[in-house]
């Protein structure tokens, strides 16, 4: 274990609110040590929208975990209602990928290490998500991706989440991840009652679209339901999962894309 005390050490971005805060609560309830990363109020304060903030976060997590990390959850994100839309792409895709890349080496020194990205079912069910924004993200071209996202928060959100899930699929099986014994997976939550979703529900245009999305299990998800899927992907009960995109969305994706496999 990274701490040498039998406690797992897990870094969680976006840990100040919503799903990330609940991941923190569940992990600490299981006796893990959590290094939280957020804009404020956590062990590491950093702005993942900027390259400087990402570097600060990586250096601070490396310092805090003293060289070995057992898990990483990249949960920090901005909703489609956030303005400017460019920041959605910068945080949701480039912020997450920078931390996965920057902390991969110390994850390799952890015990049964695992990393989890937080994508969204909007990646698979939003028309147009697989377009120029996602392509620029996957080419690592932040300037082109943010320019393509300008003024279009809905496309910025779904495309950044599609690119993140695809990045997970492509990298999970590669030598630096699976080859180094690090399991890399993602969750794809559906509508989950957090401040991010509330911001969308309160938006004049987005609110009706969100309310109109069919959810076969009914209602919306809770942070607890999504966090338990994330904790599963970090832990000993998912040790053969690699490159999995785990939908936790009440069945919306299966309803809309029954033949996606």
Active site residues: 157
Nearest of 108, 117, 31, 99 to residue 61 by alpha carbon? 99
3-state DSSP call for residue 204? coil
Residue 129's φ and ψ, nearest 5 degrees, are: -65, -35
Using CB under 6 A as the binding rule, whether residue 20 contacts ligand NAD is answered as yes
Is residue 60 a contact point for ligand NAD (CB under 6 A)? no
Contact between 75 and ligand NAD by CB under 6 A: the answer reads: yes
> How far, in Å, are 92, 129, 160, 192, 223 from residue 123 at the CA level?
12, 6, 8, 15, 19
Residue 194 contacts residue 18 (beta carbons within 8 Å): yes
Does 17 bind ligand NAD (CB under 6 A)? Our answer is yes
- Identified binder of ligand NAD from the candidate list 10, 23, 48, 69, rule CB under 6 A: 48
Q: Which is nearer to ligand NAD, 68 or 71 (CB)?
A: 71
User: Taking CB under 6 A as the rule, does residue 120 contact ligand NAD?
Assistant: yes
**137-153 b/e (C-beta count within 10 Å ≥ 16 → b):** bbeeebeebbebbeebb
Residues 191-210 contacting ligand NAD, CB under 6 A: 191-192, 194-197
Binders of ligand NAD: how many residues, by CB under 6 A? Answer: 26
Give the binding site for ligand NAD (CB under 6 A). 14, 16-20, 38-39, 47-49, 75-78, 91-92, 118, 120, 189, 191-192, 194-197
């Amino acid at each position: 274990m990274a701490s040498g005390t039998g406690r797992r050490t897990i870094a969680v971005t976006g840990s100040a609110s919503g799903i990330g805060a609940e991941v923190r609560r569940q992990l600490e309830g299981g006796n893990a040590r959590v290094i939280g990363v957020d804009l404020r109020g956590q062990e590491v304060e950093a702005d993942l929208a900027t390259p400087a903030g990402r570097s600060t976060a990586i250096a601070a997590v490396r310092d805090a975990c003293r060289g070995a990390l057992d898990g990483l959850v990249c949960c920090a994100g901005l909703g489609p209602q956030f303005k400017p839309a460019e920041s959605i792409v910068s945080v949701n895709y480039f912020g997450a990928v920078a931390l996965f890349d920057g902390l991969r080496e110390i994850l390799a020194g952890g015990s049964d290490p695992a990393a989890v990205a937080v994508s969204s079912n909007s990646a698979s069910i939003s028309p147009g998500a697989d377009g120029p924004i996602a392509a620029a993200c996957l080419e690592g071209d932040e300037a082109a991706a943010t320019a393509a996202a300008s003024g279009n928060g809905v496309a910025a959100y779904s495309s950044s989440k599609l690119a993140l899930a695809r990045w997970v699929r492509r990298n999970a099986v590669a030598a630096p991840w699976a080859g180094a014994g690090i399991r890399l997976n993602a969750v794809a939550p559906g509508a989950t009652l957090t401040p991010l979703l509330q911001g969308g529900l309160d938006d004049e245009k987005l609110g009706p679209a969100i309310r109109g999305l069919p959810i076969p299990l009914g209602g919306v998800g809770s942070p607890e339901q999504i966090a338990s899927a994330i904790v599963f992907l970090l832990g000993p009960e998912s040790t053969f999962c690699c490159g999995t995109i785990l939908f936790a969305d009440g069945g919306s994706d299966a309803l809309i894309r029954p033949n996606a496999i």
